[in-house]
Structure 1
Amino acid sequence: MKKSLLALAALSAFATAAQAQSSVQVYGILDMGYASESKTATTAAAAAQGTTTKAKAVGASEGLSGSRLGFRGTEDLGGGLTAGFTYELGLNVGESTAAHSVRQSLLSLSDKNLGTLSFGRGNTLGKNTNDGFTAFGGGGDFEQGSVTLEITRGEEQGEAVSKKIKPIVDRNSNQVTYVSPSFSGVTVSAQLYAKSSDKDAAANTGKDETSGTAFQLAYAGNGITAAYTRSQLDTEVEAAAAVAATCTGVATPVGCNNGTAAVSASKTEITLDQFGATYTMGAIKAFGLYNSAKYKASATAAEDQNKGYDIGATYTMGKTTLLASIGDGEIKTAAGVVTDVKGMQAQVRYELSKRTTAYALYGKTEFEGTNKGESDVSMIGIRHSF
C-alpha cells in the first residue's frame, strides 16, 4: 500500500513538473507560384518617367504571405503568469543563396489580469493595422492595388515620400510593446522603440538617435473589429565637425584614418493616423482602412502629406473565398506637388485542406498628376502552412 502511494505521489510530481516546462512549437509558411508584374515609372528617381519594366517568374514567392520558419514557446510560471518567446526567420524560397532575414525576435511576459509585455524585434502597431484591415493582408510580396499600403510604404513604385514613411509601418528592432487584457472587447496597446548611438564627435559622426511611440485602441465583438492607431517616429542627428585625414597617400598602416566629412544637425518627424474596421455577417466580411501620414524633413520644414483609403469585401462559399477592394488617395510633397493614387484588387482562394490554399490574384495601382505611372501584378500560387 505504501509503495503504491509513493509511486502515485512520484507520478503526480512528475506530471506537475512536466506541465511547468516550456512547450515549443515549430511553424512556418511556404508560398510560391507564377507571377507576372509590370511597372511604369512615375518619376526619374526610379527611372525615366514612362519607362516600363516587366518581370515574369515561375517560383515567384509571397503572393498571400511571406514564407517563413518560426519557433515559439510558452512556460507557465504559475499564478496566471506566462513567459513566451517567438523567433521567426523570413525565407526567400525562390533563391538558394539568399540570406535569411529575422522577421521577429521577441521575449514576452503575460498576466491574465495585467496583459502582455514583449521586448525585441517585431511588427509596429502601424504594420499590424495595415495588415489587419487591407485586402491582401499586407503579408505578401505584392502590394499593387492597395492605396493605404502604397502611400505608407512605397514598395511598388519606389515613390520617394511614401518610402520615407515606411519605417513606421514595418518591423522594428529595439522595441517594447504592451497589450492590455480585453475589457468587454476593448483592448489598449502601446509601443515604444528607441535606439541611440552617441559617438565621439571629434572622431566620428556625433549622436544619432531614433525614437518612436505608438498607441492603439481596438474593439472586437458582435462581428465587428475596429481600431484607431496613432504612431510617431523621430530621427535626430547631432552636428559633428569634419575630421582631417592622416597618413595621406599611405596604403592603410596602423594609426591612420581617411578622415570624415562634417555632419549637419537634422531631425525628421513622421506621424501616422489610421482608422480600420471590419464587419462580418454570415459569409460576407466587409473591411476598410484610412491612413493619413505626415513627414517633416526638419522641425521647421513644410510637411509631405499622404492620405488614402481602401474598402472591400470577402465572400466565402464552402472552400472558396472571393475578395475585391478599391482604394483612392493622394501623395502631396512639401513643395505642393500632388499625385492622385487609385487602386483595385481581386482575389480567389480555394482551400485544398486546412493547411493548403490555392489562389489567383490581380492588383493594380495608378498614379495621376505631375507624376504619372502604374503598377500591376497577376499571380497564381499555393500557400502551405505547417
Structure 2
Amino acid sequence: MKKSLLALAVLGAFAGAAQAQSSVTIYGIIDTGVTYTSKAQTTNAPGVTGINTGSKFAMNSGVIQGSRIGFKGVEDLGGGLSAVFNLETGFNNDNGALNGQDPGTTNLFRRKSVVGLAGGFGSVLLGRQTDWADTISAYTAVADFGGVIQNSGSNLNRLQGVRTNNSISYTTNNLSGFTGNLMYGFGETAGKTSAGQSFGLGGKYDNGPLGLGINYYQSKQGPTPSDTSLLANAAPLSTVVGAANAGASAAKVLNVVASYQFGPARVYGNYSRVKQDLNTVAVTGLTDATRVTGATLGLSKKADMYELGTAYSLTPSLKLLGSVQYTRADFDGLSGKGKLTQFNLGTDYWLSKRTDLYAFVSNLRAKDMKNPGVYADTTGNDASQTAVTVGIRHKF
C-alpha cells in the first residue's frame, strides 16, 4: 500500500512539473457596433438598376479591433529556451462568418499562424504574421479608433496590420527600451527568388512617457506574393502582375511614429509614405475630370500620410479621444494630387478591465479623388461623409 502511494506521489510530481513547463492560453475579442452613415452608396441586388444612395444604419463587427479567437502556447525547453506558437482566426460576430479571407483562399487562421523559439537572444517566428508596422500602431490613432480610420490611409500604410505569408521574423528582447525586428517573406517561385518576396526592418523605443517607432517594408510582385496586400489588389493590378513584372518592386512603405504621455493626456503623431511602383496603368481611362469618381488610394502611385491625435483620461475608466488624418496621393498620368482628410472624436468607457463601451463620430472628406467612405460605403460624387458609431468590446 505504501509503495502504491509513493508511486502515485511521484507520478503526480512529474505531472505537475510537466504542466508548469508548458501552457496553452485561449483568448479572444468580440467587438460590435451600430453605425449610422450619411451619403452611403451600396451595391444593388442583381437586376436592379440605378444607385442605392442615402443614409444607412448597419451593425459592424470589429470596429476598434477585429473580433477573433486565438490560441497561444509556450513550452520550457530548458536553458532559457522556449518553444512558442500562436494561432489566431478572425470572425464577424454580427453574422458568424469567418473574417478577412485572402482572395481565392479559405484559410482558417488568417490573422496569425506562427511557431518558433524564444530565449535570451529574442524570438524567431515562422508562418503567417504581421510586420512591425502593426506593433508600432500602438503609438497611433489605430489604438483608439481602430478600423474607423483605415480608409483614410492606415490600411494602405500597414498600420492596421497586414499579413505576410511564408515569412520568418526575428525580434530582439527589450534592450534598455529598444526593441528591433527583421522580417523576410518567401515568394516561393522556382527559378526567381525575388518574385513575390518581401522584407521588413523596424524598431521601437520606450522610455517612460516617450514612445518612438519606425518601420520599412518592401514587397515584390510574383505569382504567389508573400505580401497579402498584393493579393487584395490583384484585380486593379491585373494588367501588371504578369511574368514580365515578377520580381519588380510593388510596394514600399515607411512609417515613423511618436507618442508622449503628458499626465492624463497622450499626444501622438506619425508620418507614412507608400510607393506603388507598378501602379502606372491601373487608372487607364480616368481623366482629371473623372478622377473624383474612379481614383482610390489603392490605385495611387505615391501617397503621403500625416496624423495628429490625443487621448485624454478624464477618469481612470473614461477617455476622450480625438484625431486628424490627412493624405495626399499621386496618380500616374493625372495632374494634381488627390486629398483625403478625416476628423474623429470619440469616447471610451471601461466597465471593467475586459469590457468597454465606445462612441465615435467621424467625417471623411475627399478632394480630386473618390471618397472611399468611413466604413467602406462609397459616397459617389459627394466629397464628404459622416459616420456615427456606438458599440461594445469584450476581451477574454
Instruction: Give your verdict on TM over 0.5.
Output: yes
Aligned positions of 1:167-178 closer than 5 A: 170-178=162-170
| 8 A Cα contact 2:253 2:273, kept in partner | yes
Residue equivalent to 1:376: 386
Cα distance, 1:352 vs structure 2: 0.9
Residue equivalent to 1:364: 363
Describe the SS at the equivalent of 1:265: helix
| 8 A Cα contact 1:147 1:310, kept in partner | no
1:14 and 1:237 map into 2 onto residues whose CA distance is 49
Q: In structure 1, give the amino acid aligned to 2:172.
A: S
| 8 A Cα contact 1:208 1:237, kept in partner | no
1:365 and 1:31 map into 2 onto residues whose CA distance is 22
Residue equivalent to 1:66: 66
Match of 2:140 among 134, 146, 159: 134
5+ long unaligned stretches in structure 2: 42-50, 100-107, 225-240, 283-299, 372-382
Residue equivalent to 2:29: 29
Describe the SS at the equivalent of 1:358: strand
Cα distance, 1:5 vs structure 2: 9.0
2:189 and 2:127 map into 1 onto residues whose CA distance is 18
Describe the SS at the equivalent of 1:137: helix
Describe the SS at the equivalent of 1:181: coil
Structure 1 residues 268 and 233, CA gap change in structure 2 (3 angstroms): same
What's the TM-score once normalised by structure 2's chain length? 0.73
2:194 and 2:175 map into 1 onto residues whose CA distance is 40
Aligned positions of 1:262-273 closer than 5 A: 265-266=244-245, 267-273=248-254
Cα distance, 1:265 vs structure 2: 1.2
Structure having greater relative contact order (Cα 8 Å, sep ≥ 6): 1
Greater C-alpha Rg: 1
Residue equivalent to 1:314: 311
Pair 1:351-2:350 in alignment: yes
Cα distance, 1:191 vs structure 2: 0.7
Instruction: After superposing the two structures, state which structure 1 stretch, 82-91 or 279-288, moved more.
Output: 279-288
Residue equivalent to 1:103: 111
Q: Number of aligned pairs? A: 329
Residue equivalent to 1:18: 19
Match of 2:326 among 312, 325, 328: 328
1:328 and 1:170 map into 2 onto residues whose CA distance is 21
Structure 1 residues 137 and 168, CA gap change in structure 2 (3 angstroms): closer
5+ long unaligned stretches in structure 1: 42-49, 154-165, 200-205, 239-261
Cα distance, 1:182 vs structure 2: 1.5
Pair 1:182-2:174 in alignment: yes
Q: In structure 2, give the amino acid aligned to 1:73.
A: G
| 8 A Cα contact 2:130 2:162, kept in partner | yes
Aligned positions of 1:32-181 closer than 5 A: 32-38=32-38, 52=53, 54-57=55-58, 59-96=59-96, 102-111=110-119, 113-129=120-136, 131-137=137-143, 140-143=146-149, 147-149=152-154, 152=156, 170-181=162-173
| 8 A Cα contact 2:354 2:395, kept in partner | yes
Structure 1 residues 341 and 134, CA gap change in structure 2 (3 angstroms): same
Match of 1:194 among 186, 191, 204: 186
Cα distance, 1:327 vs structure 2: 2.3
Structure 1 residues 187 and 9, CA gap change in structure 2 (3 angstroms): same
Structure 1 residues 11 and 293, CA gap change in structure 2 (3 angstroms): same
Pair 1:339-2:347 in alignment: no
Cα RMSD of the aligned pairs, angstroms, is: 3.5
Describe the SS at the equivalent of 1:91: strand
| 8 A Cα contact 1:216 1:227, kept in partner | yes
Larger % of strand: which?
Answer: 1
Listed one character per residue, the Cα deviations across residues 183-203 of structure 1 (whole Å, up to 9, x for unaligned) are: 11111101111222449xxxx
| 8 A Cα contact 1:124 1:168, kept in partner | no
Cα distance, 1:53 vs structure 2: 5.4
Listed one character per residue, the Cα deviations across residues 203-246 of structure 1 (whole Å, up to 9, x for unaligned) are: xxx999311111012101221111111111111469xxxxxxxx
| 8 A Cα contact 1:179 1:188, kept in partner | yes
Listed one character per residue, the Cα deviations across residues 90-119 of structure 1 (whole Å, up to 9, x for unaligned) are: 0111114557662111112101x2101111
Pair 1:297-2:275 in alignment: no
| 8 A Cα contact 1:75 1:83, kept in partner | yes
2:98 and 2:179 map into 1 onto residues whose CA distance is 39
Structure 1 residues 143 and 101, CA gap change in structure 2 (3 angstroms): farther
Cα distance, 1:34 vs structure 2: 1.1
| 8 A Cα contact 1:148 1:310, kept in partner | no
Cα distance, 1:11 vs structure 2: 5.6
Structure 1 residues 213 and 264, CA gap change in structure 2 (3 angstroms): closer
2:316 and 2:160 map into 1 onto residues whose CA distance is 38
